[in-house]
Structure 1
Amino acid sequence: MTTAPASSKLSAILPDLTLWRSSPGFRLLWVQGLITYFGSFMAMVALPLQIKELTGSPLAVGAMGAVELVPLIVFGLYGGALADAADRRRLILGTEAGLGLLAVVLLVNAALPQPMLWPLYLVAAGVSALAGMQRPALDSLIARIVPHDQLTAAAALNSLRWQTGAIAGPALAGLVVAYGGHAMAYGITVVAFAVSVLLCLRLDPAPPAHDAQKPSLRGIAEGARYAWSRPVLVGTYAIDLAAMLFAFPNTIFPFLADDLDAEWALGLMYAAGSVGSVVLSLTSGWTSRVRRHGLFVVFGAAGWGLAITAAGWVTNIWLVLLCLAFAGAGDMLSGLGRSTIWNQTIPEELRGRLAGIEVLSYSVGPQLGQVRAGAAAGWTGTRPAVWSGGLACLVSVGLLTAALPKLWSYDSETDEDALRRRARKEAAEVA
């Protein structure tokens, strides 16, 4: 009996790097995104910490989610319609430059002798608007440049990029804020966005189809009707929304660190979930051979809820960090499933508008989750706010899975939308 060589076993586990080697466009987007994420996560830690220091209120920190919600909804939907009608490269470049300017505002405010509170909320709303407008263009551009059979591998590599920034950014931000102040953290964010804009200038143009519709409410409604008519898509949106709404405690991490007498571990708490995600990403080779991606969505979201529940129960900081790492792995698995299903089934002419709806599904949940966590922490205490949200996540995932069985049974080799999308893409590549 023969055994497979060790190199073959490793290649079956490690991420599939074929796309990284074969696609310069994907490679450029990957590097640009890594730099952007690094700078963004620096600000993500510094901003709520600065609000905490100025107000001392968990509700004030959680209010960031409320401030960000409306701009995210409005500009996420509009950005989806715009991504179908405009050059996606220009849209990405313009929004990236705008995000850099908002980082400058944070830097100037932090450098004042008495930093003001209202600019922090104003910038949070502006970042939400620009990010909501940009994300559909980025997501739909990936779907255009990546071959159909490499979509899961692309999702794994993009998640690895995001999580690398999520680990390095918060971990370094905690040290930078502690020893250099908020201004230094925001300064690093400004530099990161400046470099990212320079890289965006090197992207190839990505013009819309010649018969693309102009952005309109009618076009947005058309995309929404398509999404609503597909139970598999509805399931991906609903499960992620519920998981983030009930079990996204990041905004109250500063208070959880205080409760555990572990203020030094705040940066590690923000980074722990990303560590779990990176571990799963680095062992994601097997995911390219899976056909039933709906199972990823369900089991990943359930694992997230279970781990967040445990993080609220345990009192040892190292166990909390371990739970958060497991939560990150669950979120990563669910995200791989969602991204693959979206890119495998959605027609190119609707890709931008559906990407706008996707932005809402995975962004509105965390924004509302911040409000829920902040309010619950103010009423019941920090740790009950964490574990009760995790339990609510588990219950909601179970109910949604029972109500939407087509998500559970999704198979990329038999699903009609997936087969139709594959045939159209192959025909376009031949032409």
Structure 2
Amino acid sequence: MSIGETVKRHLVDTRPLAVPAYRRLWIGQAVSQLGSGATVVVVSQQVYDLTRSSLWVGLLGLAHLLPLIVFGLWGGAAADAADRRKVLLAGSLVTWVATLFLLAQAVLGLDQVALLIAAVAVSATGFAVTSPTRGAVIPRLLPAELVPGANALNSLAFSVGAVGGPMAGGVLLAWQGYAVAYAFDALLFSVSLYAALRLPAMRPLAEAARPGARAVFEGLRYVATSPVLLMSFVVDIIAMVFALPRALYPELAATRFADVPGGAALALGWLNAAMAIGGVAAALLSGWVGRVRRQGLALIAVIALWGLVVAAAGLVEALWLVVFLMAVGGAADVVSSVWRQSILMLHAPDEMRGRMQGVFMVVVAGGPRLGDVRAGAMATASGLGVAWVGGGLACAVAVIAVGLSARRFRNYCSEIGK
């Protein structure tokens, strides 16, 4: 095999971008991630500036989590029962309105933590609807063999936005303050709205239950009866709840890196971008990911690696080394996400995909919010170092113990890699 062929086998699969509808959706997602990444940094910093408490920053995660649980499951059911294009548009508009509200409160100088938490909750409601719907749309736009490549491209878009967004947020915050950063998000999100508007109609292919408790219960029962799917969610919850140190970033930047070039605001941008830097590298070199067959054991390994590098990042003093270690963790997280999302998309029939994506979104987006609460509360009670390092070590131990104890999960082999 030539060097060129070897490189091509390991680079991200770009074939899904040849499909115009998916390409527009991907571009809209990539651009809007820049704005949302900036807002994550700015709203957490605004709460910290108002309260000087990591616990309050962690409570932003709780404000995000509750709508995710309620509306994520309902949104997945709606995506199965209605035109997915219309559902995606409706959820996107809710998120856009919440961003405009954040902009308005910054311009007016209201400085109320309750208003910030409320805006985060409304934004989470829109995200809870759009995320499972977008996941259910992709298998309708692409043939099955292109789905893993699409998931890697989605991870790339998310990671690029998560690198550029926090960095832009840190720069805008230091330069012009909260309002300009929120305006940046609102402007870029309009690209995502346009992409949703241009999608073709996607009415249900088969009869599905109307959105409600019965439809949600059917989705949960489907997950509960699939041990591999269930354990893929469990190990991800372990990773995010035990090890994610995101709620500790403002305190770390203020107490340890205030004297670095650019000050605490720029350090905060680097900390928030670190995982995504590794995610970009992993997504660009993701050609090999779809060829791994022993995905159960592989998931255990990459999540254990995530926990160990997080713990190591909490022990070092240099900002560049913290960023490097968290980037390694971000690379492991992207690889894990591609495997879990591909399994889910190809396992479920079309009439269940919205609900499966709803459960996936609740776990993937809800886990980090629980992790924010855990980290903030643990830092308040025991100190930043214990919350950061102890969480990473606990993640590595727990995922190995739980993952290896589940025989069907540890022995799971993917058909894609054959």
TM-score bracket for the superposition, by shorter chain length = over 0.9
Q: 1:207 aligns with which of 203, 206, 213?
A: 203
Q: 1:8 aligns with which of 2, 5, 20?
A: 5
Q: 2:360 aligns with which of 358, 361, 364?
A: 358
Equivalent residue for 2:87? Answer: 91
Residues matched between the structures, number: 412
RMSD (Å), alpha carbons: 1.6
Q: Alignment identity in percent? A: 37
Say if 2:225 is the partner of 1:229.
Answer: yes
Equivalent residue for 1:18? Answer: 15
Say if 2:297 is the partner of 1:301.
Answer: no
Distance in structure 2 (CA, Å) of the matches to 1:212 and 1:6: 49
Q: 2:386 aligns with which of 381, 384, 388?
A: 384
Which residue type is aligned with residue 140 of structure 2?
R
Equivalent residue for 1:170? Answer: 166
Distance in structure 2 (CA, Å) of the matches to 1:352 and 1:113: 40
Task: For residue 114 of structure 1, report the CA deviation from its aligned partner.
Answer: 4.3
Deviation per residue, 1:279-317 (Å, 9 max, x gap): 111111112322333234222211111111101111221
Segments of 4+ moved more than 4 angstroms:
none
Q: 1:121 aligns with which of 117, 123, 131?
A: 117
Q: What SS does the aligned partner of 1:157 have?
A: helix
Equivalent residue for 1:344? Answer: 346
Distance in structure 2 (CA, Å) of the matches to 1:124 and 1:113: 17
Q: Which moved more, 1:106-115 or 1:152-161?
A: 106-115
Say if 2:188 is the partner of 1:196.
Answer: no
Task: For residue 210 of structure 1, report the CA deviation from its aligned partner.
Answer: 4.5
Deviation per residue, 1:18-67 (Å, 9 max, x gap): 2222x112111100111221111111110000001111111111111222
Which residue type is aligned with residue 391 of structure 1?
L
TM-score (norm 1): 0.92
Deviation per residue, 1:176-220 (Å, 9 max, x gap): 001110000001111112232122211111111242221121121
Deviation per residue, 1:206-259 (Å, 9 max, x gap): 111242221121121111111101110011100001110011111210111123
Which residue type is aligned with residue 175 of structure 1?
V
Which residue type is aligned with residue 388 of structure 1?
G
Please list every run of 5 or more consecutive structure 1 residues that lacks an aligned counterpart in the other structure. 420-431
**Superposed counterparts of 1:219-258, under 5 Å:** 219-258=215-254
Which residue type is aligned with residue 15 of structure 2?
T
Say if 2:40 is the partner of 1:44.
Answer: yes
Q: Which moved more, 1:292-301 or 1:44-53?
A: 292-301
Say if 2:54 is the partner of 1:58.
Answer: yes
Distance in structure 1 (CA, Å) of the matches to 2:321 and 2:414: 38
8 Å contact from structure 1 (residues 277, 329) kept in 2: yes
Distance in structure 2 (CA, Å) of the matches to 1:292 and 1:144: 27
Please list every run of 5 or more consecutive structure 2 residues that lacks an aligned counterpart in the other structure. 259-263
Distance in structure 1 (CA, Å) of the matches to 2:25 and 2:297: 29
Which residue type is aligned with residue 110 of structure 1?
A
Distance in structure 2 (CA, Å) of the matches to 1:351 and 1:56: 42
Deviation per residue, 1:138-187 (Å, 9 max, x gap): 11111222221222211111100110100110011100001110000001
Distance in structure 1 (CA, Å) of the matches to 2:69 and 2:180: 31
Say if 2:80 is the partner of 1:80.
Answer: no
8 Å contact from structure 1 (residues 276, 328) kept in 2: yes
Equivalent residue for 1:395? Answer: 397
Q: 1:179 aligns with which of 175, 178, 183?
A: 175
Distance in structure 2 (CA, Å) of the matches to 1:296 and 1:109: 46
8 Å contact from structure 1 (residues 295, 337) kept in 2: no
Distance in structure 1 (CA, Å) of the matches to 2:357 and 2:95: 20
Equivalent residue for 2:286? Answer: 284
Which residue type is aligned with residue 376 of structure 1?
M
Distance 1:17 1:50, change over 3 A: same
Q: 1:159 aligns with which of 155, 161, 167?
A: 155
Task: For residue 350 of structure 1, report the CA deviation from its aligned partner.
Answer: 1.0
8 Å contact from structure 1 (residues 54, 117) kept in 2: yes
Which residue type is aligned with residue 339 of structure 1?
Q
Q: What SS does the aligned partner of 2:108 have?
A: coil
Q: Which moved more, 1:406-415 or 1:318-327?
A: 406-415
Equivalent residue for 1:317? Answer: 319
Q: Which moved more, 1:105-114 or 1:364-373?
A: 105-114
